[in-house]
Structure 1
Amino acid sequence: MINKLKYFTLIFIIVLTPLVPSMKVNAIYGNENMIQQMNQLLNHEPALKGAIVGISIRSSTDGKIIYTHHGDVRLRPASNMKLLTAAAALKILGEDYTFTTEIRTDGLIKKKTLYGNMYLKGKGDPTLLKLDFDKMALEIQKLGIKKINGNLVGDDTWYDDVRYSLDLPWSDETTHYGAQISALTASPTRDFDAGSVKVQVQPGTRQGDKPIVKMTPKTNYLKIINHAETVSEEGKKNITIERKHAKNTIIIEGTIPLKAKPEKDWIGVWDPTRYALALWKQSLQEHGITVKGKLTTGMVPDTAKMLTTHQSMPLSELLVPFMKLSNNVHAEILIKEMGRVVQGEGSWEKGLKVLKTEIVRFGVNPKTLVLRDGSGVSHVDLIPANQLTQLLFAVQKEKWFQSYLHSLPVAGANEKMVGGTLRNRLKDPVVRGKVKAKTGTISTVSSISGYVKTKSGQTFIFSILLNSLMEDSKGKKVEDQLLTIIANQ
């Protein structure tokens, strides 16, 4: 009878063990109440039914794990991948690193005419605006050049010619967050969505009119076909803004009511190198400089002399739009730039190799990761939550940590370049301003990792990775609940 009882007891334990959260508790911190509340939420939240949850919480002072739920399980990080990319870029390139754009020529200037080609060489700057092309055109004007008797040549060979990361969904091709990666590119606004244009559709003055379409920057590089219609004030707003595959033709369809707010979208262009080159020609013409030749691409000859240059903002400043607004293009450019600087080749292959080598310095085990890009847009990227909190613990010791921390979205902060992707979340006084964290979203995935200051004055490092969700918006509500529990400690 005793043997049978032992047998059934053993079976009972084996069956129940997988249902108990994988948890480590350090009694020093006295966080039993937090652990109980978190387990209660994880076990009873309907949005998590069928989902995979990875959670890791560490002390910011000694790095000890306070709580972990499937913390060593590899999960899709979405844009939490950018935490690794930003840390490696700061370590390798440095806070003061800038991207250079060069204007060169292989010709001679005679009687206000440049006899020869003018080269626009990009070296990865994702922040080039139309205004920057204007400033460079002004410098060319000051040299006395009125006419270019040659071609305008765009040189994007600083990086390779692979435009999309390995697993970018085809449906993202026309979006600003899926824009092509080139060493020569341009941004429409100070959000610096490189390789894209901003399209705004507003109602016409009368019912039946075509809506008014505005594009930023103003350029003829893309063609607008407007099939939309302005309807009565009581009508339905249903506007679509889409670019044709492999073309720079944007189709606008649907209806927009009189007095309705404008509809906005950011569209990735086809061939960002030629897009930048077209903006450069436009700036030259606006400064009274005519171009006789054509727009083309190629390499700058070694003998070509420099006419002028433009420097980007330093990396410490670039991190703000990169991390606050979760800019995928910035992430992939940084990967290629690290590959170029360290390995001599601006490619994903070389850049990711550098990334894997560098994160070891932060105590991250690359053997636990699957890395396919720098942005986290890939559904093949895999990172355990415990590895993310290890990274976030280790970077606190770096001299550039304040730049890193400053780049993270701040919970409930209304200003765009402060709150970033958290500006409309976590507005309760318990958590508002007390969470600084990177968010992440791809289909069926929601994530958030960073730092939270608790009611008792402690700072905890956390990573929450939610995979296989039915609705990622509901996942964000769960994240906010979990962070409120942590902040209340």
Structure 2
Amino acid sequence: MEENRESIEEDELKEEKNLIDDPIDEEYLQVVELPVNTDYTLTEQLDTYLQDSRLENALAAVHIRAETGEEVYSFNGDKSAVPASGQKLLVGAAALDTLGRDFTFYTGVYTVSEQVGNTLEGDLYLKGTGDPTMLPEDYRKLAEEIADLGITTIRGDVIADDTYFDDVRLSLDLSWANQRSVYGAQVSALSVSPDRDFDAGSVIVEVRPGTDVGEEASITVYPDSDYITIINNVETVATGGNSYIDWDREHGNNNMHFHGTMAKNGNIWRKWISVWEPTELVLQLFYDALLDHGITVEGHARLGTTPTGADELVNRISIPLEDIFDPYMKLSNNSIGEILTKTMGKVVHDEGSWDAGLTVVESYLQKAGLNMDGIHLRDGSGMSHLNAIPPEEMTKLLHHVKDEEWFNVFYDSFPIAGITNRLVGGTLRSRMVGTPAEGNVRGKTGSLTSKSSLSGYVTTKDGEELMFSIILNNYFQGNAISIIDNIVVRLADYSREE
């Protein structure tokens, strides 16, 4: 079934994350090609595309820039428009410049107590710095390493410390409708990802049909924890019957409700669902891992702050930022965008907040020569409908970063049109297939309700690389993505000699 929600984002393009609900809509993805007629100039043809009836009451803003930086085409290029996940270009560039391609996140286990024989005579602290790559097995590994120190008893509490960031979990404009989904996950300095896409702050729920008709379906959660409560009202029906799932997570807790039917011998239904207060899930996972490794905890599991001067017992260092950029950009990972924003705020201003982080992004954009008068930053992922940037400023950024030492990391992380490998083609892997744009166009997609964008690089028939930014806002008559794709395909087929 198709769930009722405010925004789609690019999550609908992770097909293995959506087996029954949120199917890939082929009409949504395919280019509806308009004829290329070289009797018309590039400007005339792009103007024609932008007269599409679907844009009659919408804002279409387009800007194209040459390798030299000169303007090739502009249609409302100076008008501020909502880029959706195109926002990740701004945050990503600022993060590479501010943190550096080799930046790593750090998770440590600390104590201020002595180990006497096999007993730690006090509290144990788990402190995070926002690492989105921490998997359940990483917390189990930390517990194993504590056991390897010879500790069999903790005569104190196990304490989770997420104070590296502030305690504001959700960005200002994130609606309730989106807060339950993976693309609206809460941001914490201590989190866990259920997969190597690094969807921090979420769990994977799988529903399988029961053995017999009339039985409850089987529902499992990964990572498994008592912190999640499943309310199962999914019934197994006969083979060939209707399979559908309605689901929800209660606001303010982790009670997850599932209703519907699953056909016997039917496909697995799988969903990534955000967790309320991910720090407490991490605490539960780490505490349980200590017990599983034979460690007795005499105290409680609770939240707190690591004392200054505490001794480090074990740690885990993440992969470098440059290796995190592929899931961030190609898969349009919202959690990573928000974590990078707060991390920049902490590193530069010693404040792990959205306000501090977005101030750092603004500083970088100013340094890059962008006119900030028409730019409005509200979050790190692009979920806010109040983010705004004129396309001519986006292409200015795309031109500027080509001289940055980290440009290859940035450029290589863009989704590539028509390449089916999800870690290469990313959110463009099903678009512009069989056109001159296939394997050519590198672009960052953006998608919110009634808003779409694509910004990036395209090589023309002459071998010239153009920078483009296409942002369509407030269209309500069908889907306008095919208009974007037609423009980009035309650029890929363009020659200065026309």
Do both share a fold (TM > 0.5)?
yes
C-alpha contact (below 8 Å) 1:204/1:230 kept by paired residues? yes
What SS is found at the alignment partner of 1:56?
strand
Cα separation, 1, equivalents of 2:450 and 2:119: 58
Cα separation, 2, equivalents of 1:441 and 1:265: 20
C-alpha contact (below 8 Å) 1:122/1:183 kept by paired residues? yes
**CA shift digits 1:307-339 (9 cap, x unpaired):** 011111101011111111111111111111111
Cα separation, 1, equivalents of 2:477 and 2:189: 36
Give the alignment's Cα RMSD to 1 decimal: 1.4
2:350 aligned to which of 344, 350, 366:
344
Question: Which structure 2 residue ranges, 5 or more long, are not aligned?
Answer: 1-37
Cα separation, 2, equivalents of 1:480 and 1:358: 30
2:69 counterpart residue number: 63
Alignment pair present for 1:76 and 2:76: no
Change (3 A) 1:345 1:49: same
Cα separation, 2, equivalents of 1:41 and 1:424: 21
What SS is found at the alignment partner of 2:454?
strand
Alignment pair present for 1:111 and 2:117: yes
Give the structure, 1 or 2, with the largest relative contact order (CA under 8 Å, sep 6 or more). 2
Letter in 2 for 1:475: A
Runs of 4+ in 1 over 3 A off after TM superposition: none
What SS is found at the alignment partner of 1:417?
coil
Cα separation, 2, equivalents of 1:74 and 1:195: 32
2:436 aligned to which of 426, 430, 439:
430
Q: Which moved more, 1:418-427 or 1:390-399?
A: 418-427
C-alpha contact (below 8 Å) 1:106/1:117 kept by paired residues? yes
What SS is found at the alignment partner of 2:340?
helix
Cα separation, 1, equivalents of 2:106 and 2:339: 13
What SS is found at the alignment partner of 1:40?
helix
Cα separation, 1, equivalents of 2:477 and 2:404: 37
Alignment pair present for 1:273 and 2:279: yes
Letter in 2 for 1:357: S
C-alpha contact (below 8 Å) 1:99/1:123 kept by paired residues? yes
Letter in 2 for 1:131: E
2:457 aligned to which of 448, 451, 454:
451
Change (3 A) 1:245 1:88: same
2:55 counterpart residue number: 48
**CA shift digits 1:422-463 (9 cap, x unpaired):** 112121241111111110111111111001122221111110
2:43 counterpart residue number: 35
C-alpha contact (below 8 Å) 1:189/1:216 kept by paired residues? no
Alignment pair present for 1:294 and 2:271: no
Greater Cα radius of gyration, structure 1 or 2: 1
Letter in 2 for 1:42: L
Structure with more helix by fraction: 1
Question: Which structure 1 residue ranges, 5 or more long, are not aligned?
Answer: 1-29
1:481 counterpart residue number: 486
**CA shift digits 1:143-169 (9 cap, x unpaired):** 001121211111111111111111111
2:369 aligned to which of 342, 346, 363:
363
Q: TM-score, normalised by structure 1?
A: 0.91
Change (3 A) 1:275 1:471: farther
Alignment pair present for 1:241 and 2:247: yes
Task: Please list, as runs of the form range in 1=range in 2, the aligned pairs for 1:249-268 lying within 5 A after superposition.
Answer: 249-268=255-274
Alignment pair present for 1:282 and 2:300: no
Task: Please list, as runs of the form range in 1=range in 2, the aligned pairs for 1:36-435 lying within 5 A after superposition.
Answer: 36-43=44-51, 45-59=52-66, 61-435=67-441
- The share of aligned pairs that are identical, in percent, is 42
Cα separation, 2, equivalents of 1:373 and 1:111: 49
Shift of 1:32: 6.1
Shift of 1:103: 0.4
Q: TM-score, normalised by structure 2?
A: 0.89
